[in-house]
Amino acid sequence: MNPQFRNPPPGGLDPNAYDDPVTVPAADIAENPYWKRDVRRRYPRLSTVTQSDAVALLEVGSAAAPKQELIGEAGTKSLVAAQEQGAKGLAVAFEKNTGLAKDVLGPGGMPPLPSGLHTHGVAGQKRYELESEQSYGTAYPCRTFA
């Protein structure tokens, strides 16, 4: 055989003789939409929090931080009651219970900061410190022209 030429040549095989291997879960287009198959992108998923959900979170707490007095069967009953009251709206819940958001608010009644990454500063703020040396060190192989 001569390795310089293609063997078999293009068009030399019968296209009907080739059997396409099909994997059933991946080939099922109805149950496998593109956004589930595409692993290169992280498509954002819509998430909504209704007023009844917000009232339930404020009154009962979340699964990560439940209120201590509402653990167990009492918590389940109060969650159902809170969701029913939450259908009326947040304003009705705040009028009924004035200290509802006290556990959520920070010092001075301010809302929490969006990021909990910098918790070592005042109210979670990171202090910006300016370095005295504004260039690369002597160990770095780079020339600077000042």
| DSSP single-letter state for residue 61 | B
Q: What single string gives the DSSP state of each residue in 73-140? A: HHHHHHHHHHHHHHTT-HHHHHHH-TTTTTTTS-GGGPPPPS--S--SSGGGPPPP---S--S--TTS
Read off the pLDDT of residues 29-87 as tens digits, 9 standing for 90 and up. 777 788 777 778 777 778 888 888 888 888 877 666 667 666 677 777 877 887 788 88
Angle at 100 between CA 98 and CA 106, to 5 degrees: 110
What is the rounded average pLDDT of the residues 85-113? 80
Q: How confident is the model at residue 6 (pLDDT cuts 50, 70, 90)?
A: confident
Read off the pLDDT of residues 40-49 as tens digits, 9 standing for 90 and up. 877 777 888 8
What is the rounded average pLDDT of the residues 84-107? 81
Write down the pLDDT at residue 129: 78
